[in-house]
Amino acid sequence: MAPETAKKDLLWANLVHISFEMWWDRELPPDAERKYYEARPHLRVDDTLWNDILAAMRAAGMNMLVLDLGNGIAYESHPEIAVKNAWSTARLREELAKCREMGLDPIPKLNFSACHDFWLHPYDRMLSTPAYYAVCAELIAEVIELFDTPAFFHLGMDEETADNQRLLRYAVIRQYDLWWHDLNQLIEAAQDGGSRPWVWSDRLWQHPGDFFANMPASVLQSNWYYDDNLKLEDPEVKAYAQLEEHRYDQVPTASNFAGQTRNLQKTVELCTRVIHPDRLFGFMQTPWRPTQEEFRGIHMDAIEQVARAREWYESTRR
């Protein structure tokens, strides 16, 4: 059984990357977008920006920080996957304590999608093997312990399609019952540690029947759509209403990574109409850039957008 999670105030979350080794496993021709997503052998976290993000989130009234850990941590169970200068587990614990003191609930994220698991190297080339299952379970267990049993554990699992891997040197996808088998392994590992599993919902877009027949109701859902114009007839946007129809708990997700100025606001406006308050757990902003000074503007703008959306939301509840 999934652990019960008390629903408190609406969550206003921000996704911040400790690791950014999720995307392309090879160098690509110069491109303003592509260069950010190529894997690097070293940590990409600037301490000053990291601390400023936390302070800005607190000032904006945010209450949750989702940390994409990947290979940015020197795990005791699997130190071999860590990049150069990865945070030690002691450093991670210090930073988590700092977050909590600032009123920010830190939630771990490890993306196990075959499209976004380069951070798991060399185990990213061992999918669906006994060794792979063991490593995933060991990492999840260690992270849950490091986070002192967080309420949620984000498992990723988005974009595992051939098209999304067309630029990868090594491309592999799990399909049909194998995808669900592996997801259930991850779900069980999170639940065994006392955390509620949380995933991206985009598998619903192409496989709604399969999705609703197999996705456990215990799993927190984050559908996402990263455009300033949201139309309910679009499959990616309609998913919010479909998830509500099937009574899934949701944290709708927006972004400003490509210069969007109204995506979060429009997401809040739409989802507060189509999702029942009991199942609307909150909202998440995703800048999708490394935590580095050259991207300071995007990170700070992301938080400012949350502050405005939160102010609008609360004004409608007065």
Asked whether the predicted pLDDT for residue 2 surpasses 60, the reply is no
Average pLDDT over residues 292-304: 98
CB 256 within 8 A of CB 303: no
> Quick one: pLDDT band at residue 29, thresholds 50, 70, 90?
confident
Q: Give the pLDDT score at 6.
A: 45
Helix pair angle (130-146, 176-192), 10° resolution: 30
Is residue 299 assigned to a domain? yes
Q: What is the pLDDT of residues 6-25, one digit of tens each?
A: 445 899 999 999 999 988 88
Average pLDDT over residues 220-249: 97
Q: What is the pLDDT of residues 75-96, one digit of tens each?
A: 999 999 999 999 999 999 999 9
Helix pair angle (263-274, 296-316), 10° resolution: 30
**Two tokens at 122?**
């060399």
Q: Are strands 152-154 and 253-255 parallel, antiparallel or unpaired?
A: unpaired
> Quick one: pLDDT band at residue 32, thresholds 50, 70, 90?
low
**Is 297 strand, coil or helix?**
helix
Structural domain that includes position 190? 11-316
Average pLDDT over residues 210-227: 98
Is residue 151 assigned to a domain? yes
pTM, two decimals, is 0.96
Q: Are strands 11-17 and 64-68 parallel, antiparallel or unpaired?
A: parallel
- Give me the CATH number covering residue 219: 3.20.20.80
Which whole-number Å values give the CA distances from 7 to 127, 152, 271, 280, 282, in the listed order?
35, 12, 17, 10, 10
Q: What is the pLDDT of residues 147-160, one digit of tens each?
A: 999 999 999 999 99
- Tell me which H or E stretch contains 130: helix 130-146
How big, in percent rounded to 5, are the helix, strand and coil portions of the chain? Answer: 40, 15, 45
H helices, E strands: number in the chain:
10, 8
Is residue 6 assigned to a domain? no
Q: Give the pLDDT score at 177.
A: 98
Residue 169: alpha-carbon gap to chain centroid: 24
Residue that has been written with the tokens 């944290």 in this structure:
251
Asked whether the predicted pLDDT for residue 181 surpasses 90, the reply is yes
Average pLDDT over residues 15-36: 84
> Quick one: pLDDT band at residue 290, thresholds 50, 70, 90?
very high
Query: Which residues, including other chains, have CB under 8 Å from residue 102's CB and lie 6 or more apart?
Result: 54, 55, 57, 58
Task: Give the number of C-alpha atoms closer than 13 A to the C-alpha of residue 10, restricted to the C-beta side.
Answer: 21
Q: Give the pLDDT score at 8.
A: 59
Domain count along the chain: 1
Average pLDDT over residues 301-318: 96
Q: What is the pLDDT of residues 267-282, one digit of tens each?
A: 999 999 999 999 999 9
Counting residues of the chain whose pLDDT is more than 90, the rounded percentage is: 90
Q: What is the pLDDT of residues 109-134, one digit of tens each?
A: 999 999 999 999 999 999 999 999 99
Query: Which residues, including other chains, have CB under 8 Å from residue 207's CB and lie 6 or more apart?
Result: none
